[in-house]
Amino acid sequence: MQHIIEKFPDEIVRKATKIKAIITDVDGVLTDGGIIYDGGEAELKKFNVKDGQIVKPLRENGIIVAAITGRDSAVVKRRLKELNFDYHVHGKLDKLNYFDEILETFQLKEEEVCYLGDDLTDIACLLKAGLGVSPADALTYVAAEADFITSKNGGEGVLREVADLILAAQNKLEKILIQFKSQEV
């Protein structure tokens, strides 16, 4: 999958080869950051199906998928359970504590973690991760702390872009494509 990784700087590809876990923020990364309330108690969010589609192949290829989100949202809990994330915690603004908990729980080193974030509460995790990534529309002072900025805005396939990079850098994406071509999924 050389054509996928050739658009990334060599240093980013090198970091991607070491990744064993992706930890992501939710609002502004897996969603566009918008929150819609109806007239009652319902909260609505829009997720990109391309992000969801890659979670199972990531997990099947040994990549842990986790989320740390500052909001406590039933919609987000439902989506992350549906996708079978390995770990997710909600309503936590002290994300670095949970980043460290993930490292300990899954026996990971910092350089083995890719963190995706777009706002103030993500900065410490972006700096600590082996590969810190921000969406194209992240706040500029947050994106300045990331190793890499995606071509996608939040909610438009940020996780998918990063997952494809990691899987291609680790020579795992071709196998996934072959499985889907032959319907052995």
Q: Which residues are annotated as a binding site for Mg(2+)?
A: 25, 118
Output the CA–CA distances (angstroms, integers) from residue 184 to 58, 142, 170, 176, in the order listed: 16, 40, 21, 9
Taken in order 14, 154, 140, 37, is the CA torsion positive or negative?
negative
Q: What residues form the annotated binding site for substrate? A: 27
Q: What residues form the annotated binding site? A: 25, 27, 118
Contact indicator for 25, 133 with CB cutoff of 8 Å = no
